[in-house]
Amino acid sequence: MQQDNPDITFITPTAPVATATHGGRAKCLQRLVRLDLPVPSTVALSFDEVHRIAAGETPSMDELLAPLHQGTLICVRPSSEDPDWGGPGAVLNIGMNDAKFAELSEKLGHDAASAIYARFIQSYSTHVARLDPDMFDDLDLSAKDTCKQLLEAYELEAEEPFPQDVGDQLAGVLRSMARAWEGTTARLLRQAKGAPADAGLGLVVQEMVLGLGHAECGSGVLQLVNSTTGLPKITGRYLSQSQGRDALQTGASALFLEKDTRGPSLEDAAPEAFEALKQQAALMRVKLREEMQIEFTIENGQVYILDGVRVQRSSRAAVRIAVQLAQDGIIPAQEALMRIEPRALNELLHRQVDPEAERDVIGNGIAASPGAATGRIVFSAAEAQASAARSEACILVRRETTPEDIRGMHAASAVLTERGGITSHAAVIGRGLGLPCVVGASSLRFQLRKKSLLAPDGRVFKEGDIITIDGTDGEILAGEPKMLEAALDDAFQSLMAWADEERDLDIRANADTPADARTARNFNANGIGLCRTEHMFFEADRLTVMREMIFADASEDRRSALDKLLPMQREDFIELFRIMEGQPVCIRLFDPPLHEFLPTERAGMRDLAEALNLPLSTVTRRVEALGEYNPMLGMRGVRLGITVPEIYDMQARAIFEAAIMANRNGANVVPEIMIPLVSAKREVELVKTRVDAVAAAVRTEQGLDFDYRLGVMVETPRAALRAEDIAPHCHFFSFGTNDLTQMAYGLSRDDAGRFMSAYVQQGVYPEDPFHTLDADGVGELVKLGAERGRAAQPDLTLSVCGEHGGSPESIAFCRKVGMDYVSCSPFRVPVARLAAAQLAI
């Protein structure tokens, strides 16, 4: 056929068919044709053509049908640019009419012909004529005259006879599919999956191979890997005497493909066809450079390939597949790296409940997204965001989730819903985010107004109570069972090793505890970029000494309390240095306001009065005196370091003594000391003088030398603006983009959750700036700070250690402005490593 109409194109090896104009399915079919695979004749309709059809134009049926063999049945399938955007369902057996029914009855027998005709009448009635599907409910579809009954029912309801002309039928099918694509619901659904508003739909019109007949006939799907694990395994189903994807719907009567102890297989029923299919699938894998699922039909023992689609895959399988393709030399390693969405690694990285741990199960539901997480119950997205701002893990509990909950889901450690199934919003989004998720947990009573969950055994779990969601097994557990870290297989390790070869940005981890540091090491972080030392003071025994220090009236009393804390801090740092094996460790000096360490309730104050042997009234007065109207902008960070300098003295000493101990054991530790919340040069001068003095004292006492690096967190706008003054006193700047975002916007980290959804929904902010760095505003400050800092101090090491350090979009920004590294929470390190590699490719 000559190709003079690019919008109605007969697919040949050279026809002008492209994914961007005719859709992915049409393009894939052309590739299969090029491989000389047995693909039935196909005509591709372009996006433009389908758009015109939706608008009411009818293409020339003669032109459309000309390349296809006259008298064969045809099917129409959608062909969108990205198969994940969906599309209307395929319509099979177009061309079936009374005459064809008679012909097929003769050839295949009455029952087979009747099955085909009945199927077409029903599908045409509901999808094209838009008749009520219930209209066939009262018919006896097993009767000999099924088709007659269906045709009469159609005529009665549609008030016209069932169309007999193939052109009329095809035109009707094309129009209904084109219009279904342009409907509002379909558009919103695909936009939710990332499709642009004007995404087009192509259609492919294909000759049918019947899959019904006297010799071995049938249809099925086949792929060479397991979709969950990605490991090689011939998977799929085949159903004799069937069409389309019937084999998948009628699972029970379908055959296995390979010989299988559980039942009969295609390999037994039609060994030659099975062998041919395997070879064709292997050829497609090599030539299409992808694991494909093939849809095939066997007619009288002969195999036909109707379609090929990318194998659906879990994140774990995606990694295995990409790595295996690269290891087989089918794609380069760089392409394997580019094929994995960095965030998808989350799913591989998640923790699980230790199988040995005791499980106090309080309810169960559908295991919708793997991994397990523990946190406090919250019942709204806003509360989830507020918890995240406080760095508190939470479990978002909802009746069901909607797009408005997305921000809350981002902030939560896991999600639990009462309603919904494996494809519900919570499940789909949960899997996308790698967030453990259990849906449809109707064994629990969700008493949302009372903010509680009622377990079948009568126990009540309230807001703030700790539960664990096991998204792998679909169970909800009370409390915090022991967890196992994620198992990271060889494919993951290979991918990460390739990423490390490509990337030109270091990735460090924010790690406060030995457990965090071990995770960081396991994930091959290039060091610790932020150790928030205050987290080391919240353990019960230290808290009492800390409070003693806060309540001390005189400097000596304070020092004596700090002397008790010194060995504890030293041990903390020795342990971190040991785990990090010479990798850089950046320790931030004490940051939060002191009142965070004091009790807020009367009972707590009484306990404290008792512990410190003070009158309750004194304790109450002191606690009140330390209260602030706006603690985030009050006496915290370096301000505390300057007004109560003994704290930083103690910390500096602990760091230096720990470094000496570590170096005695052969390590070469050069600790990095970081001053938080700086906004003026003088602050750095004052702290530096004292830290240098402590270093000199420790050197003298121990008779040993050591190096250290001093730097600041740039997290106030003024520090960024005055970077030129500050940098000469520093070895490094680490941008604390959490506080910098808070201060640049004047937006409280703790309260923004309440209105963030409304703001993002109305387009005030394109994204929550605490998740994705606001490149225009906050980013401008970062850029200025970096430029001015480097201008004054060319060797200055630059980094970001706010939450943004783990977000792929923000990493791109950091690399662009010349950062040396980003630092993110340990579990985000692999995501960041892959994101950085993709940027360098």
For the annotated binding site, the residues are 532, 588, 715, 736-739
Q: Which is nearer to Mg ion, 492 or 537 (CB)?
A: 537
When asked if residue 440 is in the footprint of ligand PEP (CB under 6 A), the reply is no
- To Mg ion, the closest distance from the beta carbon of 603 in angstroms equals 31
Binds ligand PEP by CB under 6 A, chosen from 228, 472, 738, 748? 738
- To ligand PEP, the closest distance from the beta carbon of 384 in angstroms equals 18
Could you say which of 147, 437, 586, 801 is catalytic?
Answer: 801
Q: Which of 404, 384, 405 is nearest to 395 (CA)?
A: 384
CB 266 within 8 A of CB 274: yes
Contacts to ligand PEP from residues 521-540, by CB under 6 A: 530, 532
Phi-psi bin for 710: left (phi > 0), alpha (psi -120 to 50), beta?
A: beta
Length of the chain: 841
What does 530 bind: Mg ion, ligand PEP, none (CB cut-off 5 to 8 Å by kind)? Answer: ligand PEP
Q: Which is nearer to Mg ion, 512 or 739 (CB)?
A: 739
Binds ligand PEP by CB under 6 A, chosen from 242, 387, 737, 797? 737
Is-catalytic flag, 425? Answer: yes
Please tell me the distance from the alpha carbon of residue 372 to that of residue 352, in angstroms, as a whole number.
Answer: 5
What does 782 bind: Mg ion, ligand PEP, none (CB cut-off 5 to 8 Å by kind)? Answer: none
- To Mg ion, the closest distance from the beta carbon of 829 in angstroms equals 20
CA-atom Rg of the chain in angstroms: 33
- To ligand PEP, the closest distance from the beta carbon of 737 in angstroms equals 5
- To Mg ion, the closest distance from the beta carbon of 605 in angstroms equals 28
H-helix or E-strand containing 51? helix 47-54
Binds ligand PEP by CB under 6 A, chosen from 801, 814, 819, 824? 801
When asked if residue 513 is in the footprint of ligand PEP (CB under 6 A), the reply is no
What is the three-state SS of 693-728?
HHHHHHHHHHCCCCCCEEEEEECCHHHHHCHHHHHH
E strands, 648-703, in order: 672-675
Stretch that binds ligand PEP, among 340-348, 472-480, 663-671, 734-742 (CB under 6 A): 734-742
Tokens describing residue 387? 């918890």
Is-catalytic flag, 801? Answer: yes
- To ligand PEP, the closest distance from the beta carbon of 678 in angstroms equals 12
Residues 581-610: x where in contact with Mg ion by CB under 5 A, - otherwise, as a string: ------------------------------
> How big is the site for ligand PEP, counted in residues (CB under 6 A)?
10
What does 416 bind: Mg ion, ligand PEP, none (CB cut-off 5 to 8 Å by kind)? Answer: none
Stretch that binds Mg ion, among 100-108, 352-360, 411-419, 730-738 (CB under 5 A): 730-738
Beta bridge partners of 840: none
Q: Between vectors from CA 598 to CA 596 and to CA 602, what angle results, nearest 5°? A: 130
CB 257 within 8 A of CB 236: yes
CB 15 within 8 A of CB 22: no
CB 110 within 8 A of CB 144: yes
Contacts to ligand PEP from residues 368-427, by CB under 6 A: none
- To ligand PEP, the closest distance from the beta carbon of 380 in angstroms equals 23
- Residue numbers in the known binding site for substrate are 532, 588, 715, 736-739
Stretch that binds ligand PEP, among 130-138, 211-219, 733-741, 831-839 (CB under 6 A): 733-741
H-only helix segments in 289-360: 315-327, 333-338, 345-349
When asked if residue 641 is in the footprint of Mg ion (CB under 5 A), the reply is no
What does 830 bind: ligand PEP, Mg ion, none (CB cut-off 5 to 8 Å by kind)? Answer: none
CB 292 within 8 A of CB 305: no
Q: Which of 304, 65, 249, 97 is nearest to 174 (CA)?
A: 65
Q: Which of 572, 550, 564, 570 is nearest to 622 (CA)?
A: 550
Q: Which is nearer to ligand PEP, 9 or 825 (CB)?
A: 825
Q: Which of 673, 783, 685 is nearest to 728 (CA)?
A: 685
Stretch that binds ligand PEP, among 234-242, 338-346, 737-745, 785-793 (CB under 6 A): 737-745
What does 237 bind: Mg ion, ligand PEP, none (CB cut-off 5 to 8 Å by kind)? Answer: none
| Contact residues for 507 (Cβ-Cβ < 8 A; gap 6+) | 525, 526, 821, 822, 823, 824, 829, 832, 833, 836
- To ligand PEP, the closest distance from the beta carbon of 740 in angstroms equals 6
Q: Which is nearer to ligand PEP, 273 or 714 (CB)?
A: 714
When asked if residue 736 is in the footprint of ligand PEP (CB under 6 A), the reply is yes
CB 29 within 8 A of CB 45: no
- To ligand PEP, the closest distance from the beta carbon of 591 in angstroms equals 6
Stretch that binds ligand PEP, among 195-203, 659-667, 689-697, 730-738 (CB under 6 A): 730-738
What does 737 bind: ligand PEP, Mg ion, none (CB cut-off 5 to 8 Å by kind)? Answer: ligand PEP
Count of CA atoms in the C-beta half-sphere (13 A) of 814: 34
When asked if residue 516 is in the footprint of ligand PEP (CB under 6 A), the reply is no
Please tell me the distance from the alpha carbon of residue 756 to that of residue 747, in angstroms, as a whole number.
Answer: 10
Binds ligand PEP by CB under 6 A, chosen from 657, 739, 768, 774? 739
Phi-psi bin for 763: left (phi > 0), alpha (psi -120 to 50), beta?
A: left
Q: Which is nearer to ligand PEP, 225 or 517 (CB)?
A: 517
Contacts to ligand PEP from residues 698-717, by CB under 6 A: 715
Please tell me the distance from the alpha carbon of residue 535 to that of residue 542, in angstroms, as a whole number.
Answer: 11
- To ligand PEP, the closest distance from the beta carbon of 738 in angstroms equals 3
In three-state secondary structure terms, 47 is helix
When asked if residue 830 is in the footprint of ligand PEP (CB under 6 A), the reply is no
Please tell me the distance from the alpha carbon of residue 481 to that of residue 477, in angstroms, as a whole number.
Answer: 8
Tokens describing residue 336? 């394997």
- To ligand PEP, the closest distance from the beta carbon of 520 in angstroms equals 15
Residues 686-725: x where in contact with Mg ion by CB under 5 A, - otherwise, as a string: -----------------------------x----------
Binds Mg ion by CB under 5 A, chosen from 40, 736, 785, 826? 736
Binds Mg ion by CB under 5 A, chosen from 246, 267, 470, 739? 739
What does 646 bind: Mg ion, ligand PEP, none (CB cut-off 5 to 8 Å by kind)? Answer: none
| Contact residues for 836 (Cβ-Cβ < 8 A; gap 6+) | 499, 503, 504, 505, 507, 811, 815, 822
Q: Which is nearer to ligand PEP, 12 or 738 (CB)?
A: 738
**Separation in Å, CA 441 to CA 99, 368, 416, 417:** 53, 11, 7, 6
CB 108 within 8 A of CB 214: yes
When asked if residue 266 is in the footprint of ligand PEP (CB under 6 A), the reply is no
What does 267 bind: Mg ion, ligand PEP, none (CB cut-off 5 to 8 Å by kind)? Answer: none
Please tell me the distance from the alpha carbon of residue 489 to that of residue 321, in angstroms, as a whole number.
Answer: 13
Exposed (0-12), middle (13-18) or buried (19+): which is 58, by Cβ within 10 Å?
Answer: middle
Could you say which of 22, 350, 425, 731 is catalytic?
Answer: 425
**Which residues of this protein are in contact with Mg ion, per CB under 5 A?**
715, 736, 739
Catalytic residues: 425, 801
**Which residues of this protein are in contact with ligand PEP, per CB under 6 A?**
530, 532, 591, 715, 736-739, 801-802
